[in-house]
Structure formats: structure tokens, C-alpha cells
Amino acid sequence: MIRNIIFIIFLLPIILLNTYGQFAPPAGQPGTTAIYKDSSVFVTWATGCSVVRGYQDISNQTLGYATTGDSSMALGVAGTNGVVSLGDGGYAILTFEKPIGDATGWDFAVFENSFSDTFLELALVEVSSDGINYFRFPCTSNTQDTLQVDGFGSIDATKIDNLAGKYRALYGTPFDLQQLSGQVGLNINAITHVKIIDVVGCIQTAYATHDQFGNIINDPWSTPFASSGFDLDAVGVIHTGTTGVNDLSAKNNFIIYPNPANRIVFIQNNGNDEIKSITLTNNLGQIVKSIASIVQTQAINVSALPDGIYFLAIADNKKTVTKKLLVKHD
């Protein structure tokens, strides 16, 4: 009998956590992590954004893609430019005037436009320090996954963690880069890209999005409208990165010219280390050119590429340096 009582007492906290939630509550409540858009902690905001739309309803693709807003609406201070809707599984990649860096506490926050504390459209968050390799924040959803939350249904913020969209409009969901410390290929003190990926809230296996434990993430679905999916408002930066002396020296070893380029761009190596590879990606993080055999002054033909901003990742045996390239045809 006593053994049974002890067992029940041991299980009770676990049962309560699963029933009532274990994570931070909505904005304005004690213990919340929500950050208001006008908080003095924000030092800058995203300055560039590209979007790949998802369907209004991934299970009925004849409806077409989400169309509300455009990429410019995710720039600047939250609540000032409107929003861009990502659609089911759509994503946005945001860039910044200065890299985001890791410091004590939260490093940046993502804003969505929910009209309440319970109608929450969620998104996964990934970061990159080279525009090529992205690393996802570990997220958790303890929302039940046996009954679909309908298109205008509710979820409990205390049951979700590290998912953008946890808080209502004008309150950002913060992220701490320290959680990604030690990832090979990621410099948490020089984050150049933040990727926001809509959670397809459907609990059907064919369409479901999963958290770090493999749990299905259940959120309002379907929303078969032009404004389908995560409605990205803004990304606010709390800590900017620092460039060390060695990093600065490495960047100066590589000279790119002409920049802007319209036909041929040259990469000149003035350092002592041999370049092992050069990868050129577009603003969506897609690789458009990759070169493995490098000469001291390497020529790359960009004449077939559309106008736009590209990123050159130049790797030697010790490091990867990323430089921005503008392709502009006369």
C-alpha cells in the first residue's frame, strides 16, 4: 500500500506537467518569455527577406499557394509593415545588416500576428552562419495529437517550446543561440541567416510536422485562405555578433571583383592557406554553383544567373568565409 502511494506521488508531477503544460505562459502572465516589440532590448531588425510559399491547403493543392503580403513586409520593426503568409510548409529566409551573435540570455525574437493567446500558428526556426548550412532549434509540442485542432481552434502556449508563433501579435518569441553551441559548421557568434518554416499543423502522417522527440505538432489546420500558415511579421535582433581579429584577417585574404558583377567574377586568394572549395548560393540558400578545384585567382561565370544577392562561401582547411556578391546585368 505504501509502495503504491509513493509511486502515485512520484507520477503526479509528470501527470500534471502533461495535463497543464510545462513551458512559459502567454504574454503578460508571470513567467512568460514574450518580448514586446518596443522593448529596449532590440538593437536592430531584419533588413532582407526571401520567401518560398506553401500551399493554402497541402492536402488540396488545387487551391494554390498562400498569397497574402510580400517579403518586404517582414522587414523592420514588428507591427509596422504588415505580414507575409508562408502557407503550409512555406518558409522565409531573413538576413541582417550585422550578424546575430550569442550573448547572455535571448539573442533574437520572431514575431507573428496572432489575434489571441490561443490561436497560435507555429513555425520551426533555423539559423545559419554561411547561408548554406542551417541548424534547427530543438522544439517541443506537448499538445495532444489524436484530435485535429481545426482551422480556428485553440492551443495552449504552456505546452509548446522553441516554436515561433507561441505568442500573440506584437510579442516576440525569443531564441537563445547557446542552445546550438557546439554544432559543427555553425558559428553562433556570426549568424547571417534566420529561416522560418511553417509548421503544417495537420496530424495526418502524410503531412505532419514533428518536434525534436518525433511528436506530431498539432496546430490550427487547415486554413485554406490567401493568408494560410504562419504569418511572419518581423525578426528582432537582441545581440549582434562580434568579428574577431582572426576572422577579419581571413575575410581580408579573399578579394572579390568586380562586385557587382554581370558576367565574370574573380576570387583572389592573398592568404597562405589553399582554398579547398567555393560555393555560390542564392538568397534562398540554394546552391547555384560549386567549385572544388581552385586556382589562386578563380574566375566564376555568373552571366546566366538572375539579378540578385548571392553568397560566396570560400573554404580552406581551417575555416569558411562568406562574402556577399551582387549580380546585376546591364
- pLDDT for 162-194, tens place per residue? 999 999 999 999 999 999 999 999 999 999 999
For residue 107, pLDDT beyond 70: yes
Could you tell me if 303 and 177 lie in one domain?
A: no
pLDDT at 245: 44
User: Is residue 22 included in any domain, yes or no?
Assistant: no
Q: What is the mean pLDDT of the chain?
A: 89
Could you tell me if 129 and 199 lie in one domain?
A: yes
User: Is residue 37 included in any domain, yes or no?
Assistant: yes
When pLDDT is averaged across residues 153-168 and rounded to a whole number, the result is: 98
Instruction: Please indicate whether residue 168 or residue 309 has the higher confidence score (pLDDT).
Output: 168
Count Cβ atoms within 10 A of the Cβ of residue 288 and give its class: 0-12 exposed, 13-18 middle, 19 or more buried: middle
User: Is residue 277 included in any domain, yes or no?
Assistant: yes
Closest of 315, 292, 289 to residue 302, by C-alpha:
289
User: Is residue 18 included in any domain, yes or no?
Assistant: no
pLDDT at 243: 53
User: Is residue 116 included in any domain, yes or no?
Assistant: yes
Could you tell me if 76 and 94 lie in one domain?
A: yes
User: Is residue 12 included in any domain, yes or no?
Assistant: no
Could you tell me if 93 and 219 lie in one domain?
A: yes
Question: What CATH number is given to the structural domain containing 290?
Answer: 2.60.40.3080
pLDDT band at 295 (very low <50, low <70, confident <90, very high): confident
Could you tell me if 59 and 203 lie in one domain?
A: yes
Domain final position from 237, 269, 284: 237
pLDDT band at 62 (very low <50, low <70, confident <90, very high): very high
Residue 82 C-alpha cell reads as 504588415
Domain final position from 191, 211, 237: 237
Domain final position from 181, 210, 237: 237
pLDDT at 2: 58
When pLDDT is averaged across residues 12-40 and rounded to a whole number, the result is: 79
Can you give the residue range of the structural domain that contains 114? 30-237
Could you tell me if 91 and 201 lie in one domain?
A: yes
When pLDDT is averaged across residues 269-276 and rounded to a whole number, the result is: 80
Strands 277-281, 264-269: pairing is unpaired
pLDDT at 7: 43
Could you tell me if 209 and 308 lie in one domain?
A: no
pLDDT at 157: 98
pLDDT band at 241 (very low <50, low <70, confident <90, very high): confident
d(CA 159, CA 216): 13
When pLDDT is averaged across residues 199-221 and rounded to a whole number, the result is: 98
For residue 219, pLDDT beyond 50: yes
When pLDDT is averaged across residues 250-266 and rounded to a whole number, the result is: 81
pLDDT at 257: 85
Could you tell me if 162 and 288 lie in one domain?
A: no
For residue 18, pLDDT beyond 70: no
Count Cβ atoms within 10 A of the Cβ of residue 53 and give its class: 0-12 exposed, 13-18 middle, 19 or more buried: buried
Could you tell me if 175 and 266 lie in one domain?
A: no
d(CA 182, CA 304): 38
Whether the model clears a pTM of 0.85, i.e. scores above it, the answer is no
Could you tell me if 194 and 252 lie in one domain?
A: no
Sign of CA dihedral 150, 230, 86, 214: negative
